[in-house]
Copies of this chain bind each other. A is one copy, B any other.
Amino acid sequence: MQRDTRQRRAIRRVFMDTGRPLTPDEVLVMGQQQVHSLGLATVYRNIKILHEEGWLAEVELPGGGTRYELAERPHHHHFLCRECDQAYDVHNCPDQVEELAPPGFTVDGHELILFGLCAACS
């Protein structure tokens, strides 16, 4: 059974207020602004729970550890800026991606990552 602790509430709020994929360490720093005593292990444990619940989705981008973002959002992809290393959402999706797989392969999901310079760094 789930308890509603200050730490868990702070971690959830960080994700809801931020709207882009975050590393555990980013969550720690941002969460400590609400709960100063917040520890890294607590962040990892809660991210794990929230991910298992389906509240968070894993985002794996090159260069660095796994990031997480809110799960229950429309299908989208990511843009990774080579300059500032921030991840942005991309709300368009190429069609008929499933047909790109070799014969005999069953596709049940896909991830597309665009690289380049974001609007701010261009």
Closest residue on chain B to residue A107 by CB atoms:
B116
Closest residue on chain B to residue A91 by CB atoms:
B102
- Chain B residues with Cβ below 8 Å from A93 are 100
What number of copies of this chain does the assembly contain? 2
Do the beta carbons of B110 and A113 come within 8 Å of each other? yes
Question: Interface size class for chain A?
Answer: 35 or more
Which listed residue, B90, B92, B110, touches A114 by the CB 8 Å rule? B110
Task: Choose, from A23-31, A44-52, A54-62, the stretch at the interface.
Answer: A54-62
Which listed residue, B63, B97, B111, B117, touches A105 by the CB 8 Å rule? B117
A interface residues, Cβ below 8 angstroms from B? 58, 60-63, 66, 77, 79, 82, 88, 90, 92-119, 122
